[in-house]
Structure 1
Amino acid sequence: MMNWEKSGLVQSLKGQVDAGTMSRRQFLRLATTVGVTLSAASVMMGLPGEAQAQTSNLPFPPSDPAAVKGGTFRVGLRVAKLDDPATYSWNDMANASRPVIEHLTLVGSDNIVRPMLLESWEASDDLKTWTLYLRKGVMWHNGDEFTAEDVVFNILKWADSKTGSSNIGLSTFSALTVETGETDAKGKAVRVPNTEGVEIVDSHTVRLHLSRPVLSVPQDFAEYPTLIVHRNFVAPFSAQPIGTGPFTMVEHEVGKRAILKRVTEMTNGQPFQYWGGEIYLDEIHLYHFESENELSALASGTIDAVSDLPSDQMAFAQSLDNVVIDSVASAATLTCRMQIDRAPFDDIRIRQAIIKSVDNTLIQQLVYPEGGLPAENHHVSPVHPEYFPLPPLVRDVEGAKKLLAEAGHPDGIQLTIDCGNAGGPWEQAVCEAIRDQVKDAGIDLAVNVIPTSRYWEIWTETLFGATNWAHRSLATMTLGLAYRSGVPWNESHFASAEFDAALADAEATVDVEARRVKMEAVQRILQEAGVMLQVLWQPVYRTFGKNVHGYHAHPARQLHLTKVWLS
């Protein structure tokens, strides 16, 4: 294992703290990213309390001595189809699967990354070579041991464009691919894994040889489509839910329910010992509700918790006596994005006219008066460590009218935006507020509300769509997934070699201030391209009964139920 006191990366980070350009909290986040344990990083910063709380090297909170074992935890959650976890496009899919299959790393509510199926990792000073050390003694439900073969199977699958996984847009896995020179049916470059980029050192050690420097490797492994499946996995997951987690799925019906039960015995007849310590619940029941009905189910005692609390139900939640409301700041958002290679949005003047006719701050205050922040149409949030503050946006209705006239629409234009309310009815409220504002510039915008499941079927195809994007702990992760040229989740079809190069430069930079400066170019390119209207950053609220313990709001809306218990 590396001597972190001698690591050039860590000394560089510590030097930034000493110089006053980085906070101790930022140091913890970045030091753990390059492989320092949270306890060791805490000691370096003189935070003995943090160090003492992390002595176990487990990603979970310490066992609660007051915890009661047993019981069934009932959660309101939209129960979706569970096919291949590598192609999950909806966070609820991962939330239903996460008690069964697990990630290599876990990013907590504090945005700090921790080892999960990995025990630790090391990064070279140039951020191109990463060594992953797997936990030993982790068992699959079928009696196989979790090994390097499982990790390599998943990584190579993600790095193959034929899989259709969004993970190929994450910097880590993008840097493990090579282009074949061919294109697929949609005209996108076909990429295959660079098999020399993934090395099995031994049964519990994997080394990644990346084609370019990447800082976000541990965070990339915590993204919701990176749940690790068995090396012999065959879809659909719901039909063969073999995992390393403490639960297995015994029932799954799309749009109705999913039932998970504790695993006590492997399929080979041997007792199953979960690697993560004590588990309190016997069963987890996930019941499908549309977001507007979840809180009523909680109030009636039908369920114990909801996965997400919409802002329009805050007053109702606050009126309930036996309910806890937990919240956390996030970079969750709604992007009203246009496909910029299709008419009429292939004319930048029309895109800019829409953007100029909207007051982002006013809509944010209307939709989320009790929280959240206005956004700036470049998908980088003030909660991200690399955020660079650009000049504030100013609404300009007359300028919007002029642009429309120049684009051949002096009398205005009719448009339609598709909205799936994936994060709740607040998304429709945003679209309707945009509709009311753009009308002043002569833009007649129809809001087409469609079922959430239907929206996720067409979200990458719709010409003008309002897409809910989850929080990521680093902005560069989201930008790589959503706007890097040719990646599966590039729903706007934005393609810019200048942007790709600027993003790659920023995500390879460890120095926080230097990375923030480099992000100015990244943010400006995206903002000036007029790809989207992105009016606000959404706070995350989670609601549950007072008898529920260990259940917390997570900025990426991930459910981590390993240490939940009921009193």
Structure 2
Amino acid sequence: MRITRRQGLVAAAAILAAPRIGFAQGQARPLRFVVNVGLQNLDPISSPSFVTRNFGYMVFDTLVSLDGKGEYKPQMLEGWEVSADRLTWKFKLRGGLMFHDGQKVTSEDVIASLKRWGSRDSIGRRLMAATAELTADGPDAFTLKLSRPFGGVIDALGKPSVHVPMIMPARIASATPPTQQVAEIVGSGPYVFQRSEWVPGDRATFRKFDKYVPRSEPADGLAGGKIAKIDRVEMLTMPDIALRYAALTRGEVDYLEYAPVDLVPRMRRDRNLVFAQASGRANLMYAVSINHFQAPMDNVLVRRAIQQCLDRGEVLAGAGFGGDLGKPDCTSMFMCGAPFENKGGSDAIANPSIDKAKALLAEAGYKGEKIVVLHPLDSPLLNPFGAVLIDRMKRAGFNVDVQGLEWSAIAQRWVQKNPLDQGGWSVIPVVYTGFDMSDPLSNLGVGFNCTGNQPWGYCVQPMVPAIERFEAESDPAKRRAIAEEIQTFALENATFPIAGQFQSPAVWRAELSGVIDFGFPVMWNIERKA
């Protein structure tokens, strides 16, 4: 249930006398950031959760990174060379790269990591399918030879969000299937994970990796020099929204991944707080993950009925994203304000209504089959969206079996293909960033088309050649035209219905300097003002 602004203020005042979050006497004050949901899965390849992505950026590093202008820059790489026909790519690792176990990062580690990522991720699978060879040219260089044109090689290697091609030791990557969590967390990033201190779902701690060699360029988005200026960082979970607010205003935590929406007006008047301003791809999009393997969700008319239940204005208002925070008129699957924004197929969702949903269910011959909705109760972003979705589905005539759970439990079930009577699911309200949704090859309603790689299992055959043309094309204008065609297919088939674009800003203490305003937590480059 969403708390009101008044409830939040009352609750916040009530807990001011509660025991404060402390740290050991004599220990330097850590940097504390609060994430939206609890961390259960530590593997950025096996898990599709944002919280795991946030964790991953603390301990792992990437070959290519996206800067604040949306440009891809070398990160672990010194650079690359590409042949005239753009089919052969040669890469060189920069010097000084070392894993947290003391071993040097080699091209073999990179190849094993990319292959594991490439059998899991939407863009990664397509890149690997277009790859003839991926071979080492010594310990610090490797070559990628394509069997056919692929227009987004660097975009793929620099993919910023779920699933991120993060590099881990070959001994771990090669031994672990991509759908299974790795047993050991060994990265080469700026922080080392303190596994002995990890409390699943509650907190994770990190210490500065003293042997990390940052790039010489200034930090910019995910690119540039990742300098850990504070020795210890703590990732915390606080399901109680009012507790998050009180902890931030009292200086007990430093950074909230998402500001409590009901309290934003009050927080904006607090000179001790700074709000993120990132927009465009840094916006978020509500959507509905549909299990296409489960009847009756394999019927396109039933999925279209779900799509008609998604009144974007009502969803965003119910979650508190009114005014300048919400974009209820946005009908682009690829995010409004992003490079591939378009109107293809948008007539299908321009004016959703319960009456249209009822008519579609009647046309589908829906007989009241059970629809299992997994409702994330602990997520301030997803709980209110789920409440609106469930209400409108019931009003449309769906026989809804609501199972309210913590997100960590839902995330475990989400990636399974079990029948409904064995823990399976039909519908899950989700939220994704524009970093995931804005590229057709990573968009959750397009990128997995006919791959069978994820449990949502959609397959629109006419969309297959369109995606193939998109992935082979390198001309930006032609790619935009193909993206519009792809979006039309996705909306017509309700592969991953969207439910409203919005900004849920991060907020941090004003005494922090060097905070990178990117769209999700970036914990390097931060220090406290003297």
| Coarse TM-score class (shorter-chain normalised) | 0.7 to 0.9
Residues 344 and 205 of structure 1: CA distance in aligned 2, closer, same or farther (over 3 Å): same
For structure 1, which runs of at least 5 residues remain unmatched after alignment?
1-69, 161-165, 179-193, 265-271
Asked whether the equivalents of residues 334 and 434 of structure 2 are also in contact (C-alpha less than 8 Å), the reply is: no
Say which SS state the counterpart of residue 492 (structure 2) adopts. helix
Say which SS state the counterpart of residue 476 (structure 1) adopts. coil
Say which SS state the counterpart of residue 463 (structure 2) adopts. helix
Aligned to 2:453: 488
Counterpart-to-counterpart distance in 2, 1:124 and 1:564:
39
Q: TM-score by structure 2 length?
A: 0.78
Counterpart-to-counterpart distance in 2, 1:128 and 1:354:
42
How far the C-alpha of 1:526 sits from its partner, in A, is 0.8
Counterpart selection for 2:300 from 335, 348, 353 = 348
Q: Please state if 1:417 is matched with 2:373.
A: yes
Say which SS state the counterpart of residue 503 (structure 2) adopts. strand
Q: Please state if 1:307 is matched with 2:261.
A: no
Asked whether the equivalents of residues 199 and 207 of structure 1 are also in contact (C-alpha less than 8 Å), the reply is: yes
Code of the residue aligned with 1:312 in structure 2: it is D
Q: Please state if 1:286 is matched with 2:238.
A: no
Counterpart selection for 2:365 from 395, 405, 408 = 408
Aligned to 2:15: none
Say which SS state the counterpart of residue 535 (structure 1) adopts. strand
Say which SS state the counterpart of residue 433 (structure 1) adopts. helix
The superposition leaves residues 387-423 of structure 1 with CA deviations (integer Å, 9 ceiling, x where unpaired) of 222344123544433332233359x78744222267x
How far the C-alpha of 1:452 sits from its partner, in A, is 0.8
Counterpart selection for 2:170 from 231, 237, 240 = 231
Aligned to 1:472: 435
Counterpart-to-counterpart distance in 2, 1:444 and 1:237:
35
Counterpart-to-counterpart distance in 2, 1:522 and 1:126:
26
How far the C-alpha of 1:339 sits from its partner, in A, is 2.3
Aligned to 1:386: 340
Aligned to 2:100: 141
Q: Please state if 1:220 is matched with 2:185.
A: no
Counterpart-to-counterpart distance in 1, 2:168 and 2:284:
27
Q: Percent of counterpart pairs with the same letter?
A: 19
Code of the residue aligned with 1:226 in structure 2: it is P
Counterpart-to-counterpart distance in 1, 2:146 and 2:375:
38
Q: Please state if 1:548 is matched with 2:512.
A: yes
1:115-134 alignment runs, 5 A limit: 115-124=74-83, 126-134=85-93
Counterpart selection for 2:387 from 432, 447, 452 = 432
Cα RMSD of the aligned pairs, angstroms, is: 3.1
Residues 566 and 528 of structure 1: CA distance in aligned 2, closer, same or farther (over 3 Å): same
1:15-164 alignment runs, 5 A limit: 71-77=29-35, 78-124=37-83, 126-160=85-119
How far the C-alpha of 1:301 sits from its partner, in A, is 2.3
Counterpart-to-counterpart distance in 1, 2:440 and 2:257:
26
How far the C-alpha of 1:366 sits from its partner, in A, is 4.9
Aligned to 1:453: 408
Aligned to 2:18: none
How far the C-alpha of 1:449 sits from its partner, in A, is 2.7
Counterpart-to-counterpart distance in 2, 1:305 and 1:400:
41
Asked whether the equivalents of residues 201 and 207 of structure 1 are also in contact (C-alpha less than 8 Å), the reply is: yes
Counterpart-to-counterpart distance in 2, 1:125 and 1:398:
56
How far the C-alpha of 1:282 sits from its partner, in A, is 1.6
Counterpart-to-counterpart distance in 1, 2:73 and 2:325:
28
Counterpart-to-counterpart distance in 2, 1:419 and 1:399:
24
The superposition leaves residues 422-455 of structure 1 with CA deviations (integer Å, 9 ceiling, x where unpaired) of 7x32323223333444555444656543101011
Say which SS state the counterpart of residue 327 (structure 1) adopts. coil
Counterpart-to-counterpart distance in 2, 1:121 and 1:308:
37
Asked whether the equivalents of residues 139 and 244 of structure 1 are also in contact (C-alpha less than 8 Å), the reply is: yes
Asked whether the equivalents of residues 378 and 526 of structure 1 are also in contact (C-alpha less than 8 Å), the reply is: no
How far the C-alpha of 1:528 sits from its partner, in A, is 0.6
Aligned to 1:200: 136
Q: Please state if 1:276 is matched with 2:215.
A: yes
> Which moved further from structure 2: 95-104 or 536-545?
95-104
Code of the residue aligned with 1:521 in structure 2: it is E
Counterpart-to-counterpart distance in 2, 1:331 and 1:533:
17
Asked whether the equivalents of residues 42 and 56 of structure 2 are also in contact (C-alpha less than 8 Å), the reply is: no
How far the C-alpha of 1:545 sits from its partner, in A, is 0.7
Code of the residue aligned with 1:245 in structure 2: it is G
Q: TM-score by structure 1 length?
A: 0.73
Asked whether the equivalents of residues 440 and 447 of structure 2 are also in contact (C-alpha less than 8 Å), the reply is: no
Say which SS state the counterpart of residue 143 (structure 2) adopts. strand
The superposition leaves residues 365-384 of structure 1 with CA deviations (integer Å, 9 ceiling, x where unpaired) of 55421323237777321233
Residues 387 and 378 of structure 1: CA distance in aligned 2, closer, same or farther (over 3 Å): closer
Say which SS state the counterpart of residue 475 (structure 1) adopts. coil
Say which SS state the counterpart of residue 139 (structure 1) adopts. coil
Counterpart-to-counterpart distance in 1, 2:228 and 2:306:
52
Asked whether the equivalents of residues 459 and 467 of structure 1 are also in contact (C-alpha less than 8 Å), the reply is: no
How far the C-alpha of 1:159 sits from its partner, in A, is 3.5
Code of the residue aligned with 1:283 in structure 2: it is R
Residues 221 and 276 of structure 1: CA distance in aligned 2, closer, same or farther (over 3 Å): same
Counterpart-to-counterpart distance in 1, 2:360 and 2:112:
51
The superposition leaves residues 272-320 of structure 1 with CA deviations (integer Å, 9 ceiling, x where unpaired) of 3623355421211222322624233212322111222243342353354
Residues 240 and 436 of structure 1: CA distance in aligned 2, closer, same or farther (over 3 Å): closer
Asked whether the equivalents of residues 310 and 426 of structure 1 are also in contact (C-alpha less than 8 Å), the reply is: no
Say which SS state the counterpart of residue 100 (structure 2) adopts. coil
1:176-187 alignment runs, 5 A limit: 176-177=128-129
Counterpart-to-counterpart distance in 2, 1:144 and 1:416:
47
Asked whether the equivalents of residues 435 and 446 of structure 1 are also in contact (C-alpha less than 8 Å), the reply is: no
How far the C-alpha of 1:456 sits from its partner, in A, is 0.3
The superposition leaves residues 229-274 of structure 1 with CA deviations (integer Å, 9 ceiling, x where unpaired) of 123337799975443223222332212322222233xxxxxxx362
Residues 107 and 487 of structure 1: CA distance in aligned 2, closer, same or farther (over 3 Å): farther
Aligned to 1:564: 526
Q: Please state if 1:359 is matched with 2:311.
A: yes
Counterpart-to-counterpart distance in 1, 2:240 and 2:51:
12
Say which SS state the counterpart of residue 478 (structure 1) adopts. coil
Counterpart selection for 2:267 from 295, 317, 320 = 317
Code of the residue aligned with 1:533 in structure 2: it is P
Say which SS state the counterpart of residue 152 (structure 1) adopts. helix
The superposition leaves residues 501-525 of structure 1 with CA deviations (integer Å, 9 ceiling, x where unpaired) of 2112123222222211111221111
Say which SS state the counterpart of residue 527 (structure 1) adopts. helix
Aligned to 1:248: 192
How far the C-alpha of 1:564 sits from its partner, in A, is 0.9
Residues 465 and 127 of structure 1: CA distance in aligned 2, closer, same or farther (over 3 Å): farther
Q: Please state if 1:535 is matched with 2:499.
A: yes
Residues 528 and 365 of structure 1: CA distance in aligned 2, closer, same or farther (over 3 Å): same
How far the C-alpha of 1:146 sits from its partner, in A, is 2.2
Counterpart selection for 1:332 from 278, 284, 289 = 284
Say which SS state the counterpart of residue 324 (structure 1) adopts. strand
Asked whether the equivalents of residues 515 and 523 of structure 2 are also in contact (C-alpha less than 8 Å), the reply is: yes
Say which SS state the counterpart of residue 306 (structure 2) adopts. helix
Counterpart-to-counterpart distance in 1, 2:310 and 2:205:
45
Say which SS state the counterpart of residue 462 (structure 2) adopts. helix
Asked whether the equivalents of residues 328 and 540 of structure 1 are also in contact (C-alpha less than 8 Å), the reply is: no
How far the C-alpha of 1:151 sits from its partner, in A, is 0.9
Code of the residue aligned with 1:472 in structure 2: it is F
Aligned to 1:512: 476
Code of the residue aligned with 1:544 in structure 2: it is W
